[in-house]
Structure 1
Amino acid sequence: MAEIIQRGKTWTYKVYIGTDPLTKKRISDSKGGFKTQKEAKAAARLVELQKQNGTFVKESDIPFKQFAQDWVKTYSRSGVKVSSVRAREKEMKHFISVWGPYPISRITKKMYQDRIIDLSEQYSHNYMDGIHACGRMIFRQAIELGLMKVNPTENFKLPKKQQTVEELEKEEDEIIFFEKEELAHFLKLAHSHGLEMDHLIFTVLSYTGLRIGELLALKWSDFNDNPGTLRVIKTLYNPTNNFKKYHLLTPKTKGSVRTIRINDKLVSMLKKHKIIQNEVKLKNRLIYQDYGFIFAREDGHPQLRKVVETRLKRLLKLARIEKKITPHSFRHTHTSLLLEAGVGIKEVQQRLGHTDINTTMNIYAHMTANMEEKASQKFDKLMEDLL
């Protein structure tokens, strides 16, 4: 039976719900602020009917921050990658910063919508996909645990961001790569002025199109000299750049698991590198921990991505190449050379490990436009010489 209480000028109901199985204490649902006794009784009757039908949900006062932090702990134990957990932690901070102490049950659809729209004005559509996905997972869990009645993310679609001309131009410039002559000059300089493993690392990146994480995760067990192949089954994840605190994860997508054919030049270079590495093991036998990495530091741990990036900047400066080349640019360079050699789009997709053909097609379109521009310039030059 509901208890109806008058408090000042308003009325409050209190309905007995049951007993907490853990504390054995009585659980009740109460709500005040009703202008009349009749309104309070009607609201109480609705709760009693929901209780009888098994549809009643007692909304929780747990703060959003506390629930989100508990949720991410559960998420981390569900077998997902360390990189995915790190991404979720980063994404949920965008909600915690505004809703931290606020009861999760009181977050409405309007509040969620306003927050997403506000963030959409600051971040890219791809990043917003991640933030929205994180929000959906958090609130879905709250609903499943019976902590709230209405899911604020339900039926909400991420707004499409209208790109400006400046953003489109910037996006067009994102695919940066070496021209064939630039690559030859760079690799020659890496051979003559590079530091330990520089020439090998940048040659392998250029000749295979591997992602930098895939390259640094390679072990000798992934290398076959006859026929010459490299097996890609893992990627190195080390966001803190601490040489001991790395993780070997499964590749980016299912299609990223692949075996790449390499030429005799790379096979020969890798064999010579193994001989040198064996000498390093012997020299540093007191500290060397042999994990089997091809691109290992002098203590046996895998080389850091940060070191590769720093070495790359040094060589680009020596080569007087002003393009904003990154380790990923070698992947685009490899793609452009494959297309220039007449390799089919399907073969390019398989070699690069793209699960989605559209990813390959986007790069293909950019590369093709670049090649057409160069062909046009060469033709113009030819005609100038004839006139």
Structure 2
Amino acid sequence: MYKYYSTIDPETGKKKPSTKRGFKTKKEAQLDAARTEQQLAEGTFITEDKSSVTFEQVFKQWFETISSTYKPSTRKAVLSKFNKRILPHFRKLKMKDISKAYCQDVINKVAEEIKSVENMKMYANQIFEYAISKEILVNNPLKGVIIPKKDEEFIVSADEPERNYWEKLEIKKFLDIAKLECTMRDFIMFHLLIYTGGRKGEVLALRWSDIDFKAKTIHFNKTLFYEKGQYVTLTSKTAASRRLISIDDTTVGLLKKYRTGQYGASVVHLHSKDTEMVLTREEGSPLRLAYPNDKLNEIIKSNNLHPINIHGMRHSHASLLFEAGASIKEVQERLGHSDIKMTMNIYTHVTRTVKEQTASRFEKFMEL
């Protein structure tokens, strides 16, 4: 056996003695002591009580620490990512035994299964960095691991990417159909999604107090979330998401008409601080988060419309804003994007009309 001094006693400020025993010979103990001495000098030594710590143990400690800073929806999403994609590969492994080669192998496998492997790597990386901060690890085995590219990423496709938005005439056709086939509530729901560019959760969480009929504005500041068998409204995740947007006369008129129908003409107070939700079921409870998706798919199938999803309505709103001449910054603020790259991604998929206008403007400029 031999003694060594590694960790500092917080009460005395002095290094605490530790013992390592079980060697068969004095020479064997001396050789191990020399290695320990070198690791202590280099700052790469990890105490025995930390050398057996597993990835799962570190994850649980990290999640308990960090989860209090997350919204319930984010907490649920992060936990799902770990349970589905990360823990199955690392759960019972000791942190000290996880090698760079193993991490590369895991990333290669996950890249074959999902597109969002970069997101998965980012979360796993946080566990390794947390372990380093707690002196469980010295080096991050995920550092330098490469995300492989698939063969199709190098192939130039002649096909147009699948279009998840509607152009102006398609939107008009859809709204004409929705007006005939839907209830007033559902028509208002689709109209708000298309005319405001709001996220589904934001639109479903709207309350009458968020709408200023006189100023013609809507205040998006919360989102609807389903957890533990009940619907709750949460404040928007980022400052950019909490935004005040202007609405047109058509939207104002529809909302006034809908509210009058709900409360009766004699009791409508358009400027009250009514906190009732705008879009609800018959008994007043919030609509299911999947309801807009289900209703949209039903209308698209029965009328043979170009298929898009609910997020495609937000994309459509942005595309038409660009077509109307709005700047990238204006669209970013209206959609509540915290990162302008998200807006730029939409801009690269703008409508055919915008592309034609761009070509036309270039032609006219060259003729001058």
What's the TM-score once normalised by structure 2's chain length?
0.79
Cα offset for 1:172? Answer: 5.4
Q: Identify which range, 93-102 or 46-55, moves more after superposition.
A: 46-55
Amino acid aligned to 1:112: C
1:43 deviates by 2.2
Contact 1:194 1:315 in 2 (8 A): no
Q: Which moved more, 1:38-47 or 1:222-231?
A: 38-47
Contact kept? 1:238, 1:245, Cα under 8 Å = yes
Q: Of residues 96, 101, 104 in structure 2, which corresponds to 1:105?
A: 96
Aligned to 2:366: none
Per the alignment, in what secondary structure is the counterpart of residue 367 of structure 1? coil
What do the CA deviations read for 1:4-50 (whole angstroms, capped 9, x no partner)? xxxxxxxxxx86878999xxxx9644687x9x864541221342566
Counterpart position of 2:345 = 362
Match of 2:321 in 1: 338
TM-aligned CA distance change 1:163 to 1:329, over 3 Å: farther
Verify the 8 A CA contact 2:52 2:94 in the aligned structure 1.
yes
**How many Å apart are 1:333 and its aligned residue?**
1.7
Amino acid at match of 2:245: I
Letter in 2 for 1:358: K
- When residues 196 and 305 of structure 1 are mapped into structure 2, their CA distance, relative to the original with a 3 A threshold, is farther
Structural mapping, 1:311-350, within 5 Å = 311-321=295-305, 323-350=306-333
TM-score, normalised to structure 1, is 0.75
Asked if 1:156 is matched to 2:144, the reply is: yes
| Aligned amino acid, residue 100 of structure 1 | R
Q: 1:103 to 1:375 in 2, by over 3 A?
A: closer
Equivalent position amino acid for 2:255 in 1: L
RMSD: 3.6
Q: Give the alignment of 1:230-379 within 5 angstroms.
A: 230-238=218-226, 242=229, 244-251=230-237, 253-278=238-263, 292-321=276-305, 323-369=306-352, 371-372=354-355
Uncovered stretches (5+) of structure 2, i.e. residues with no partner: 11-16, 268-273, 360-368
User: Which letter maps to 1:200?
Assistant: I
SS of equivalent to 2:141? coil
Q: Please state how far the C-alpha of 1:199 moved relative to its aligned partner.
A: 0.6
Measured in 1, the distance between the counterparts of 2:284 and 2:20 equals: 62
Tell me if structure 2 keeps the 8 A contact 1:229–1:259.
yes
Calculate percent identity across the aligned residue pairs: 33
Q: 2:172 matched to 1:181?
A: no
The Cα offsets for residues 250-296 of structure 1, whole Å up to 9 and x where unpaired, read as 24x443332111111111211222233346xx9xxxxxxx9632222
Pick aligned residue for 2:78 from 88, 102, 117: 88
- Tell me, yes or no, if the aligned pair for 1:178 and 1:333 is still in contact at 8 Å: yes
What is the CA–CA distance in structure 2 between the aligned matches of 1:362 and 1:186, rounded to whole Å? 25
State the SS of the aligned residue for 1:292.
coil
